[in-house]
Amino acid sequence: MKLLIDLGNSRLKWCWSSAGAAGDPGALDHRGSSGAELAAALPDPSGPVDEIRVASVASPVLTAALTAALADRYGCRPAVAVSAAVAGGLRNGYREPRQLGVDRWLALRGAWAREPQSAACVIAAGTAFTLDLVLPGGEHLGGLIVPGLSLMQEALKGATGNLARLSAEDPPPLAGEPVGSELVGQATGEAMARGALWALAGLASHHFGVLRERWPGARLVVTGGDAPRLLSLLPASAEHRPHLVLEGLALDPFTAGQLPGSAGSRAESRA
């Protein structure tokens, strides 16, 4: 049995995989939790654990503590995923492949593996908002990184004199009103929230549109915790794949190594 773990900036997702079939993913908020607490919060397996794969964009300290606790609990040393120059026909477009965040690399692998002959615009809407483009046949062109919804609003509050105070005075939204369904806001907090939503939706729609002009069968694939808030503003063809990193983490070949930036880091690929 295989345990897959996606350790993000604020949430941990996991999935058990056995005999080529993946079970239902689970998730928990890990802010303020130790590695030992996170390992203890995971469910018991239904059989022996023979492989643990971890993808992490959290701090190296938390990642190391979690992998040590997982080894103690399940009796299996976890392998930490790293970005590779090429895997399964997908070619990393970064000049230095290891600079591409492993979550983005695995999301690209998960998206591309399903339809490798189609171009794709892959969006991850989380703490940071990332956009990556991949062409038919597996050529990753590169990507963009901008602040996510919360970071955009926090930046406005921290860099201006009145927006934090004014947004705190906003009345609550009307019951049942879908966030981002209107073009503009009618109070400071609304204006900031909808401005952030439309900025990210506009960026995604623009780049997807350019890609689709050249490759008409191009797909728009969206993942990340804020994806549900953006989907209503994106083209109707957008695919919501909430567990895209786990999908990529399950694929072979799998490249493991020390965390990016670690001294003497070395990668190894497993079929």
Mind telling me the catalytic residues? 103
DSSP secondary structure string for all residues of 119-154: -EEEEEESSEEEEEEE-TTSBEEEEEEEE-HHHHHH
75, 121 contact by CB (below 8 A)? no
Question: Measured in Å, how far apart are the chain's first and last C-alpha atoms?
Answer: 16
What contacts 48, CB < 8 A, 6 or more positions away?
A: 1
Q: Rounded distance, CA 164 to CA 158, Å? A: 7
Q: What are the φ/ψ torsions at residue 99 (nearest 5 degrees)?
A: -75, -20
At residue 211, the 3 state secondary structure works out as: helix
CA-to-CA separations, 219 to 44, 117, 142, 190, in angstroms, rounded: 37, 11, 16, 31
Pairwise CA distance, residues 87 & 93, whole Å: 12
**Cα 60 from chain centroid (whole Å):** 17
> Under 8 Å CB-to-CB from 116, ≥6 apart: which residues?
89, 136, 137, 138
Query: Is residue 220 helix, strand or coil?
Result: strand
- State both tokens at 126: 């989380």
